[in-house]
Structure 1
């Protein structure tokens, strides 16, 4: 099966599996099964990270390649007496994109409860209300029940995880649309990297980590890094596509333009953290992309944050970089990526990993600015 087809099929499969931060079990089991088909062993730590190690040359710097399994969403905060359900937001959920969205309340495979985030009837809205975005705390879910007792009888209770109703479909020009492309697309890429590199002898030891709770507090991957103690950390995630009218001032990252490398990220809201990549890794990916004739786009942005922000601080420090694929409409119920970008990202990683040799320097003084 061609790489593009495998990536599409696995990404779609993963997108259709609910896995709110802290509730990633179904996604983890699917990925563990996929690795087992490849003949690879994996294990979970207490936090829930799924870890698979490709043994390589111990003289080379070790690598932790990671992507998060979880997705953003909600938890049930309150069940009203009339059966309507109030939500607490988990992760960076965009409030203006919530009204009238279909959701899934996760109570167990085969028992999940569908619902809809209510939107006040248009005929009854005042002129002011038509242009107002309701805070999430004022929204409620209608799951069709007429009483709190009926809601609880269906298995729903305070704390139950809630996600956008899983959707995935292909569009024109090889585009993929749906829920949780962030970061199931990168999880699929990691499986393909494992497929390609497991039998390659001339490579560093590569720890593949499918991490948890990235959308909650960006700490899931840290526990894995504390145990694995990698020399290098390469985080795979979306990169903001800026090729739509509302995003053109943010950069020059185009959907379908190839994988992207982050040269600067900073959250800027609620936390003073981000990632400035290690120059050795910038040189590695720039050089690999040029040699492989892969267009590598560049991104520098404020407003997003990844696990690498904290992984880089483990031990004596971990040389870190964020590499990813362009994505539109991030954190909404319908994100969009280009399948070819996932293909090129896979090819870039497959070429870059063996290029990390025993003489690969992580001394910053070897990379004058």
Structure 2
């Protein structure tokens, strides 16, 4: 009974942190509200933190200096839009920030930031069905043809409300609890990773026998995938563990992509590559693959394997900082990625946190990063 209660406690903590984080807007390059919330959440755990010039939030848990140092990181930003033009009518034209799926945009509710923590609601317009011609019904409009309606009657009224060119826009924050401990919401990518990091920090802060652990909540991942690089350059870790989504493939439209199931446990990426213009990816260091696979077996944590093209994380650039960093991507299965409502499973998040706590605790002074010690 005690074990079940402990697991439930971790899951409830993660749920609480995740819910608060998803309710907070933080477009790439405008992460301030999320950063301040995370700093507060860390402070409540008795952990101090600081920000670098990029806006990354960094906290260090000192440990054995003779063991390889670890940087555990997840990005706090989210994708969205910025105002490109304010029409005379008061309607807003936009540019996208990050991999925004254009087919999922029309009729979505949004929030436009107008400074000092204030936002105003709006909607991405969708042409009235009654006036839609047959040839238009199956056409996806490019984002440049879309506009946002906040109810303004003129450009002057929009300006008076605080809307300016460059104003950040995100999906209206939303959180839904559905069956089987599953959570649906805005920016599961990667506020779920941030929530897991908080649980890891809570569990490891009193363990001085482990290696030094740097916690980095990074910025601008959705924009240019390099927000964590400045932190890695400053911290110079030996190991970097990145937390982000793993594509769930258990829906009819995704079955050909792999065998990752929502609720099937945390995931480990064995290969990632972005083939659409950004030629980069991550092939994990074999020492870290062995570490987390053996930890999963020992702790009876189901660990799902993923390999795919089409996604990319900050680890692709962190791995080539300094003289090279041993990197791995771990994560949680997620459905409907980059849409206004993504889905994850709290049990997977809890399993990921446990995998990290135990795995990181096993990185001691005897832990080797010599590739030739690992048979491949």
- TM-score where L is the length of structure 1: 0.99
Counterpart of 1:176 in structure 2 is: 183
Q: Distance in 2 between matches of 1:125 and 1:198?
A: 58
> What is the aligned partner in structure 2 of residue 63 from structure 1?
70
Aligned with residue 289 of structure 1, among 282, 296, 306: 296
Residue 363 of structure 1 corresponds to which residue in structure 2? 370
Any gaps of 5 or more consecutive residues in structure 2?
1-7
Q: Distance in 2 between matches of 1:39 and 1:98?
A: 41
CA distance in 2, matches of 1:134, 1:268: 24
Show structure 1 runs of 4+ deviating over 3 A.
none
Describe the SS at the equivalent of 2:336. Answer: coil
Q: Which residue of 2 aligns with 1:311?
A: 318
Aligned partner of 1:270 in structure 2 is 277
Give the match's secondary structure for 1:131.
Answer: coil
SS, match of residue 245 in structure 1: coil
Q: Give the secondary-structure state (helix, strand or coil) at the position aligned to 1:173.
A: coil
Structure 2 matches for 1:175-214, cutoff 5 A?
A: 175-214=182-221
Note the C-alpha offset of 1:368: 2.1
Task: Select the residue among 119, 138, 142 that pairs with 2:126.
Answer: 119
1:329 aligns with 2:336: yes
Alignment of 1:1-369 (within 5 A): 2-108=9-115, 111-369=118-376
Structure 1, residues 134-173: CA drift from partner, whole Å, max 9, x if none?
A: 0000000000001000001101110000000000111011
Count of aligned positions: 369
Q: C-alpha distance in 1, partners of 2:27/2:254? A: 27
Match of 2:4 in 1: none
CA RMSD of aligned residues (A): 0.8
For residues 47-70 of structure 1, the C-alpha deviation after alignment (integer angstroms, 9 at most, x for no partner) is 000000000000110000000000
5+ residue gaps, structure 1, are none
Alignment partners' CA distance in 1, 2:154 and 2:23: 29
Q: Distance in 2 between matches of 1:147 and 1:4?
A: 48
2:33, 2:117 within 8 Å by CA — same for their partners in 1? no
Deviation at 1:271, TM superposition (A): 1.0
CA deviation map 1:3-39 (0-9, x unaligned): 1111111101000000000000000000001111111
Counterpart-to-counterpart distance in 1, 2:234 and 2:118: 36
Q: Distance in 1 between matches of 2:32 and 2:118?
A: 15
Greater alpha carbon shift after TM alignment, 351-360 vs 321-330: 351-360
Q: Distance in 2 between matches of 1:357 and 1:39?
A: 24
- Partner Cα distance (1:125, 1:110) in 2: 38
